[in-house]
Amino acid sequence: MNTARPVVLTTIASTRSALADREGVVLVPTMGALHAGHVALVERAKQLGSPVVVSIFVNPLQFGASEDLDRYPRTLDADLDLLAGLGVDFVFAPTVDEMYPTGPSQTHVTAGGVGSLYEGRSRPGHFDGVLTVVAKLLGIVRPRHILFGQKDAQQVFLVRRMVTDLNFDVAVHTVETVREDSGLALSSRNRFLDAKEKRAALGLSRALDAAASSADQGIDAVVAAAQSALMGESLVKLDYLKVVDPDTFLPVDDHFRGPALAIIAASVGSTRLIDNETIYVS
């Protein structure tokens, strides 16, 4: 097996040069601190085309003033070791100055109404920052395919809408959330949890499972069951727990029937976590 590291590209010019005239480019955008969930994205990417490009960039535009930009893990050497042997051809790892040479973008993509709900309500401007950097990556890498994890469901919804609204010639693919054996969704932020907090964090997946188990009783029962599953978890501070229509990402009412998405966000200690699960309301 070839275990050579991918070619690392750090400038926009070198990336465009390396990918010139390549029609099947597949992009996996990440902020680094890679884990098995990212491996699943790369494995799916390899099935879609070549070359595979993984971007590693901690995007300051999507962090608020009180958020963990400085704390966010940056592990480029370990990330390259993980990607070695997975068949990744290139890693695009620019600096902040390379991506924003004159400071924060004066031109940006606005996520709209849905972008101000849920994660967007708790993190104002977050999705504008996400969509702006994704649009920049699409312009730099010019992929045919781009992949995201289902754990970031609201982000995926907004990226899909942006791609449609702005006529980007790229196919957006979603890969199922990868979980630890315990059920905890993998996240780069999980490394900040101590053993006690990690046990408490399982409350998020338990709440979603409880929601799914109650889906035959209507939306009110779904929400009540999920909230009940979190009772007694003193380390878990719930931010939101909502059931949304996957086609609009707007909340559904108790008359809704069909597939829906239960979404949850909470702080466990000082670490913010999100998760979601598809449920079938009958």
The pLDDT, as a whole number, for residue 266 is 97
122, 154, 175 - which closes a domain? 175
Residue 116 CA to residue 162 CA, distance in Å, equals 15
The CATH number of whichever domain residue 15 belongs to comes to 3.40.50.620
How many domains is the chain partitioned into structurally? Answer: 2
> Is position 202 within any domain?
yes
In terms of domains, do 20 and 96 share one? yes
The CATH number of whichever domain residue 217 belongs to comes to 3.30.1300.10
In terms of domains, do 13 and 95 share one? yes
Residue 173 CA to residue 27 CA, distance in Å, equals 10
> Is position 182 within any domain?
no
154, 175, 196 - which closes a domain? 175
Question: β-strand 258-268 against 236-244: which pairing, if any?
Answer: antiparallel
In terms of domains, do 111 and 16 share one? yes
The pLDDT, as a whole number, for residue 66 is 67
Active site residue 35: no
Q: Which residues contact 81 (CB under 8 A, 6 or more apart)?
A: 5
Mean pLDDT across 246-266 = 95
Q: Quickly state the pLDDT bin for 2 (edges 50, 70, 90).
A: low
Nearest CA to 177 among 198, 213, 158, 204? 204
Mean pLDDT across 66-73 = 80
Half-sphere exposure of 163 (CA within 13 A, CB side): 20
In terms of domains, do 31 and 169 share one? yes
Torsion of CA 273, 186, 53, 119, to 10 degrees: -20
In terms of domains, do 129 and 55 share one? yes
> Is position 127 within any domain?
yes
In terms of domains, do 220 and 268 share one? yes
Residue-wise burial string across 80-119, b where 16 or more C-beta atoms lie within 10 A, e elsewhere = bebbeebbbbbbbbbeeebbbeeeebeebbebbebbbbbb
C-alpha distance from residue 100 to each of 11, 91, 128, 135, 136 (Å): 12, 19, 15, 13, 10
Residue 211 CA to residue 261 CA, distance in Å, equals 10
Question: Does residue 148 register a pLDDT over 70?
Answer: yes
114, 149, 175 - which closes a domain? 175
Residue range(s) defining the domain that contains residue 215: 188-277
In terms of domains, do 49 and 167 share one? yes
In terms of domains, do 150 and 268 share one? no
Q: Quickly state the pLDDT bin for 67 (edges 50, 70, 90).
A: confident
In terms of domains, do 136 and 83 share one? yes
Question: Does residue 118 register a pLDDT over 80?
Answer: yes
Residue 12 CA to residue 270 CA, distance in Å, equals 35
Least confident segment among 9-13, 158-162, 228-232: 228-232
- Annotated active-site residue in 35, 38, 126, 173: 38
In terms of domains, do 130 and 209 share one? no
Question: β-strand 26-30 against 145-149: which pairing, if any?
Answer: parallel
In terms of domains, do 97 and 157 share one? yes
pLDDT in tens, 46-57: 999 999 999 999
Residue 114 CA to residue 112 CA, distance in Å, equals 6
CA triple 11-14-15, angle to 5 deg: 85
> Is position 166 within any domain?
yes
DSSP state of 101: B
In terms of domains, do 203 and 152 share one? no
